[in-house]
Amino acid sequence: MPRSSRRARPLRPMAGAVAALLATGLGLATLASAGATSPAADPKVVYLTFDDGPSPQYTAQILAVLARYRVPATFFEIGQNVTANPGLTDQAVHQGESVQNHSWDHPDLRPLSLADFNAQILNTDQAIRARTGRTPTCLRPPYGFVDKTVRARAAALGKTIKLWTVDPADWSRPGIHTIEQRVLTAVRPGSVILLHDGGGDRSQTVAALPTVLTTLQHRGYTFRLLCH
């Protein structure tokens, strides 16, 4: 899950296993769903989430689409991007979106020392709290890479780990129609949808979003915040 205010590089394709999943069109959904649980017991509820922002190019466009269709979303933001683009975090919160922790600069959290892990999370908490007045309660580890150490350390900081169940791999820019179809084919009641507002060219995500939202609404789905 990439970022806009850092050096331009794709952050997701880290391992051969990920590439193999992409070749089948599954993205990281298989990896993440193994550790993710759908939080909704109610029928026809889905959770829309965005990673890697805020981005000066795309976050405002996504917020505009969400406002147009009156859909709430949870944004897992990169700490250094919040510092670089504070007004966009302000805009998200004022619009009623949830802003949560996605680490300071998107490392794999598993091999980090305890001190480095805490710095990644607490520095991001501080950046978000300075804009929102609230400390994030949820953590989405970069790449969805989680082990028992990450879970224990996150819990010690008061964080609930939130992954996803639907990943159209929009970060790979597979095409607008492909993003739409991957989401719409995979969604079930309680699904957590992963999209990206930062980390690179997200124009396809912006373009696909209206069709995703209106189609799910026509199917009778409602949207809720994943974290509060």
- Does residue 2 belong to any structural domain of this protein? no
Is 189 buried (19+), middle (13-18) or exposed (0-12) by CB count in 10 A?
middle
Q: What is the pLDDT of residue 41?
A: 54
- The reported pLDDT for the residue numbered 6 is 37
Q: Is residue 43 part of a domain?
A: yes
Q: How far is CA 148 from CA 101, 193, 198, in A?
A: 19, 24, 28
d(CA 208, CA 206): 6
Q: Is residue 7 assigned to a domain?
A: no
* Position 63 in a domain: yes
Q: Which of 42, 51, 52, 116 is catalytic?
A: 51
What total number of domains does the chain contain?
A: 1
pLDDT in tens, the chain (228 residues): 444 333 333 444 343 333 334 433 444 443 454 445 455 456 899 999 999 999 999 999 999 999 999 999 999 999 999 999 999 999 999 999 999 999 999 999 999 999 999 999 999 999 999 999 999 999 999 999 999 999 999 999 999 999 999 999 999 999 999 999 999 999 999 999 999 999 999 999 999 999 999 999 999 999 999 998
In a domain, 6, yes or no: no
Contacts of residues 115-124 at CB distance under 8 Å and 24 or more positions apart, as own/partner, are: 117/150, 117/153, 118/153, 118/157, 120/79, 121/154, 121/157, 121/159, 122/157, 123/79, 124/77, 124/78, 124/79, 124/82
In the residue annotation, 170 being an active-site residue is answered as no
Do the beta carbons of residue 192 and residue 168 sit within 8 Å?
no
Structural domain boundaries, residue 51: 16-224
For β-strands 98-101 and 74-77, DSSP reports them as parallel
> For the whole model, what pTM was predicted?
0.84
Q: Does residue 11 lie within any of the structural domains?
A: no
pLDDT score for 29: 42
CATH number of domain containing 118: 3.20.20.370
> What is the residue whose two structure tokens read 């795309």?
58
Cis bond upstream, residue 54 (ω within 30): yes
Task: Judge whether 51 counts as a catalytic residue.
Answer: yes
Token output for 46 = 């889905």
Strand partners, 222: 45
In a domain, 172, yes or no: yes
In this predicted structure, what is the pLDDT of residue 228?
Answer: 87
Q: Tell me whether residue 203 is in a domain.
A: yes
Choosing from 102, 125, 167, 196, which is the catalytic residue? 196
Q: Could you count the other beta carbons within 10 Å of the beta carbon of residue 85?
A: 24
Within the chain, what is the greatest distance between any pair of CA atoms? Answer: 48
